[in-house]
Amino acid sequence: MASLKKGSSALDAVVIAVRYLEDAACTNAGIGSSLSLDGTVECDASVMDGQCLSYGAVGAISDIKNPIMVARKLVEEQRCGNYVCSSSTMVGSGATKWAFEHGIPQVSPDTLKTESSIKTYNSHKRRLRAIEEKKKIKRRKHLQKHGQGNVKDDETAQVICNGKQSSEDHDCNGIQDTVGAVCIDMLGNMAAGVSSGGISLKQSGRLGPAAMYGAGCWAVNWKSEIKPGIAIATSGTGEHLMKTLLARECCQSLQQDDFTENAFKKVFQDKFLDSEFLHDTKEKFGGILALKCDKSDSSAGNYELLWGHTTDSMCVGFMSSNTKVKTVISRLEDDKIAGTTFVMEGRSFKL
């Protein structure tokens, strides 16, 4: 907000907000990100500028403290008409190399790991080994039953003992969140951005929704009375967000329906929970942060901030130029089952 009051753009503010969240070790983005199966940090991030509709994203990028800065740099290059890098999305070692060549320094991989992320990684690895051992035991028993193998009782007992979880496994798995931000500036320009460390124990090279066009974030400026400005940031299970292109679908629904609450409900029910692309998925996990503007002149506009989720909870912080910072922890009702229903809230305000 301080940067906006000094004349910074919505894109500037979104990048600043996401960068601070990446630096916070308690989030699953930047420092403290979930570790891959190989024990490495690989991050995804993207930003979209609602004014020129430029989009920049990086995926599975390593050794970069703030991936959102690389995504922002890609947007800047597009604005400058630099088509040497014609892609709006870069991934892996190529993205890291490109970032370094464009003034974004690399850091030691260990600086992105925290005590908490390492403990969580070790805990999840133990759980994975336990599951694998149980599968082996089940197969051995099957083969032994059908006379195809010979497993000694003491050998089986030893495997079961080694596969047990220690009490530490239940104590070090703090909830980690993907981060995102949406914004409108004093000129009415809108922007959105997201950043994520991906799922724990992911295969190296996995590309998540934070680096996918239409899935992680979306932003468009106000165009007319029938096309309001929208900025969207999403979070949740990556495959669920990617298969439904949730950010773009949400934007289109909010633009097509004058009744914002109805549009938001339709997104969660029709485009997500009942999506044909997730028909074989029992529980669908997703969250949306949305900002809607129905006038081009921000000084005269009406604004709606909405959030909703199918997960157990979602944390939101917001502020306007004439209000103080407010924070909300939204939760599903106790009798609701996460992944099968949703809750939504919102605020209306003027600048």
Helix 67-79 with 10-23: angle, nearest 10 deg: 160
Which among 27, 89, 120, 178 is annotated as catalytic? 178
What are the CA-CA distances from residue 177 to residues 28, 104, 236, 331 (Å)? Answer: 5, 25, 9, 15
CA distance 256 to 172: 45
Classified as helix, coil or strand, 310 is coil
CA distance 127 to 318: 37
What does the DSSP 8-state code read for residue 270?
Answer: I
Which token pair is 331?
A: 């939760």
Which token pair is 23?
A: 């630096």
What are the CA-CA distances from residue 323 to residues 146, 303, 349 (Å)? Answer: 72, 13, 9
Q: Is 178 a catalytic residue?
A: yes
Reference 11, options 102, 73, 81; nearest CA is 73
Its sign, for the CA torsion 138, 139, 143, 148, is: negative
Three-class DSSP labels, 320-344: CCCCCCEEEEEECCCCCCECCECEE
Cβ neighbors of 310 (< 8 A, separation 6 or more) are: 236, 268, 272, 273, 284, 285, 286, 287, 332, 338, 339, 340, 341, 342
Three-class DSSP labels, 37-56: CCCCCCEEEEEEECCCCCEE
- Asked if residue 344 lies in contact with residue 268, where contact means CB atoms within 8 angstroms, the answer is yes
Reference 50, options 283, 230, 196, 312; nearest CA is 230
**Residues designated as active site:** 178
